[in-house]
Amino acid sequence: MVEIQHIKLSELTLKIKEVLTNAFELNEYWIVAEISSHKFYPNNDRHYFEFIEKEEGSNDPIAKIRGVSWRLGSEHIKSFEQATGQVFSNGIEVLAKVKVEFHQSHGLQLILQNIDPTFTLGNIEKQRRDTLHRLLSENKDTIELVGEEYVTRNKKLDFNPTIQNLAIIGSPNSEGYTDFIDTVNKN
For residue range 22-76, what is the model confidence (pLDDT) as tens digits? 888 889 999 999 999 999 999 999 999 999 999 888 888 999 999 999 999 999 9
pLDDT at 182: 86
* Cα 86 from Cα 161, distance rounded (Å): 35
Dihedral of CA 148/123/91/80: which sign? negative
CB 26 within 8 A of CB 42: no
CB 77 within 8 A of CB 47: yes
pLDDT at 94: 94
pLDDT tens for each residue of 71-91: 999 999 999 999 888 899 999
pLDDT at 127: 81
Decide: pTM greater than 0.85.
no
- Tell me the pLDDT of the chain averaged across its residues: 89
pLDDT at 34: 94
* Cα 12 from Cα 18, distance rounded (Å): 10
Lowest mean per-residue pLDDT among 20-34, 83-97, 170-184: 170-184
CB 126 within 8 A of CB 105: no
pLDDT at 31: 96
CB 87 within 8 A of CB 49: no
pLDDT at 49: 97
Residue 166 has pLDDT above 90, yes or no: no
* Cα 86 from Cα 122, distance rounded (Å): 12
pLDDT at 161: 73
pLDDT at 149: 84
CB 108 within 8 A of CB 65: yes
Residue 100 has pLDDT above 90, yes or no: yes
pLDDT at 133: 85
* Cα 69 from Cα 47, distance rounded (Å): 5
Lowest mean per-residue pLDDT among 14-23, 36-45, 167-176: 167-176
CB 97 within 8 A of CB 113: yes
pLDDT at 114: 96
Counting beta carbons within 10 angstroms of the beta carbon of residue 94, is it exposed (0 to 12), middle (13 to 18) or buried (19 or more)?
A: buried
Dihedral of CA 155/160/162/164: which sign? negative
